[in-house]
Amino acid sequence: MVNGIVATDLKEALIVRAQGNYTPYGGGTDLMIKSDRNARYLFLHKVPEMKRIVEDDRYIRIGSSCTFTEVLQNPRIPQLLKEAVSQIAAPAIRNLGTIGGNIGNGSAKADSALIFFVSDSLLRLASVRGERVLPIKDFYLGRKKLALSEDELIVEVLMPKKGLDNYYYKKIGARDALAISRVSFAALLEISEGIIRNCATAFGAVTEVVFRRPDFDALLIGKTLEEAKHQKDSYLAAYEKALVPIQGRISAEYRKVVCMNLLKDFLEKNGI
């Protein structure tokens, strides 16, 4: 075909990517908004290594060409990710849009990226030069700036299997469907034998990159619920100081108030 190649395996996809004049095409739902007459697309929907959803002993591994609908229909996918993905846009977009595209857009509004941040997921990137795995938090360098080399592709997301059951998720958009996030929040709390084993919180859509401060969450880790209550003020104060939302169509004040409200609600719902 002219101006396009449908890769049939990862090796082929990486060779074409290395050529440098093809734009990776996941679902097309972001790419096709700006109609570039001269674009050449590298279609990735037939690359088997990017279409798998498998499980190993530590991770659920989600291929980056998996569509949102495929993610929703797969029994291996944790409920937290399903909840976020089910609120993306509308069915037709979910049928086409991919996890790789959602991350590759580089936006803090990406609903699945928020979940990967809060769960400390990893990304497997590949190029003709080899592979590397890095935490998603190291992948985002700034607004729409990714630590992705020109010859690399996102192959899969490695989402830790454990500790995802007790979660909190809220997305606020302009309306109940077909809405881009204005504020989003995801949190995990893992308690066993009275001790907080893990606490993870992250905010989407309010800053240039998903806002994740494991150092704040660390204030609560290893504590009992009682001890955590004593830490609550410092914890909230740390967020209050550090979280500076961007002013956009929606005011920074609104975003800040809602973020802090949701954070407090998450703590209170868990008895802190």
Residue placing its CB nearer to other proteins in the complex, 139 or 266 = 266
Residue placing its CB nearer to other proteins in the complex, 97 or 106 = 97
H/E stretch holding 79 reads: helix 79-86
Residue placing its CB nearer to other proteins in the complex, 29 or 119 = 29
Residue 21 · residue 154 · CB < 8 Å? no
Residue 36: CB minimum distance to other proteins, A: 7
Residue 3 · residue 41 · CB < 8 Å? yes
Q: Supply φ then ψ for residue 219, to 5 degrees.
A: -60, -25
Residue 206: CB minimum distance to other proteins, A: 13
55 CB-contact burial (10 Å; exposed 0-12 / middle 13-18 / buried 19+): exposed
Q: Supply φ then ψ for residue 199, to 5 degrees.
A: -135, 125
What is the b/e burial string over 127-144, where b = at least 16 CB atoms within 10 angstroms of the residue's CB?
beeeeeeeebbebbeeee
Residue 6: CB minimum distance to other proteins, A: 6
Residue 74: CB minimum distance to other proteins, A: 15
Residue at 210: amino acid letter: V
Distance CA 67, CA 92 (A): 11
- Residues forming the site for other proteins (CB under 8 A): 1-6, 25, 27-29, 31-33, 35-41, 43, 45, 69, 89-93, 95-96, 170, 172, 174-180, 183, 249-251, 253-254, 257-258, 261-262, 265
Residue 117: CB minimum distance to other proteins, A: 21
Residue placing its CB nearer to other proteins in the complex, 61 or 182 = 182
Residue 185: CB minimum distance to other proteins, A: 10
Residue placing its CB nearer to other proteins in the complex, 1 or 150 = 1
The closest of 180, 19, 213, 11 to 89, measured between CA atoms, is 180
State the helix-helix crossing angle for 252-269 and 225-242, rounded to 10 degrees: 170
